[in-house]
Amino acid sequence: MRGLWAGAVTAALLCAGCSGDDEPVEVTTTDSAGRTTVITQEATEEPTATEQGDIAQTTAAMVSTLLEGPGTSVEIDLPEGWTVQELGEAERTLPPDPTDQAPQQWCLVPPSAPPAIDGCSGVLVAVGPDWLPGHAGAAYSLRQVEGWRSTPGALACPVDEDGEPTDAAVVTATPDDEAADDEAADGEAGDEAANDDNAQDGVADDGLTGDGAEATAPPPTPDDSEVDLLVTASEGMPLTSVESEVAGRTVTYETWRATCSLSEGVVISPQVWHDRDLNVLVRDYFGLPTTIAIVESLRAA
């Protein structure tokens, strides 16, 4: 099962031709509230590579699908059997220009869905007229460190102890850190008792440091020798960063490589496309071969 989505994938921007007679096909969409809608749309035939990567090709129905967001909308061709999940608007850590509009995000979910990253078990598409989601609440930019994901912090390996896929959750503490946190909690309880004694003696405790700011401890840093972390190569920088023309549009293409610190042989190859003409960002966390055809099919609605 793991071999369906894990492993380094070398991909290039290819133009995929469409042929065949149109026929109605049903595609299921799910919004952020969990409501599902079945849409009947016209399908075309799209050549796709076989699972073994052989030269021989088979045909799979591609469904024309509208992704409609505030201020801008696009259409894509989605493989039959995939579903669309609405993720809502992206968020910025630092407020953008108040006149800017936040991008809308969707998750394109294949039938054999990979583990979730950024809340998406598949391919994330973001459409925005002003900015696009980058790493840790920043706006996307070319050659951005960890630019293949939005989630801040260390991610757990997307494979559990039994070798089964699992969502890449954020890791916030190692077992040693958790023990230290317990000791700190005991210490805080003692401090609170002391503060109560001080208060009874007429000593004020406002919970603030000397500069008037509330005291907060920095989050613990996970230890990749104790916790199976997903580690991006080259200190998070992309391994590939090129500009190409796809169907007459200017598209930048970047790749990363991430491995698990303890689980041997687990490698993922995230890919990101930025269509500069349509201002669309496509994130493929596991290097799915079908994503190339989806990017090529992008068009203004």
39 alpha-carbon distance from chain centroid: 26
Whether residue 128 contacts residue 135, with contact meaning beta carbons closer than 8 Å, is answered with: no
- Cα separation of 192 and 208, whole Å? 14
CA nearest to 72, candidates 131, 31, 142, 140:
131
3-state secondary structure (DSSP) of residue 32: coil
Q: Give the pLDDT of the chain (301 residues) as one tens digit per residue.
A: 444 454 333 233 223 333 344 444 444 444 445 544 444 444 444 444 434 333 334 456 899 999 987 778 999 999 999 999 999 999 988 777 788 889 999 999 999 889 999 999 999 999 988 999 999 999 999 999 999 999 998 999 998 777 788 877 777 544 444 444 444 445 554 455 445 554 444 444 444 444 444 444 545 656 667 889 999 999 999 999 999 999 899 999 999 999 999 988 899 999 999 999 999 999 999 999 999 999 999 999 8
Whether residue 108 contacts residue 286, with contact meaning beta carbons closer than 8 Å, is answered with: no
Q: Which helix or strand (DSSP H or E) is residue 37 part of?
A: strand 36-49
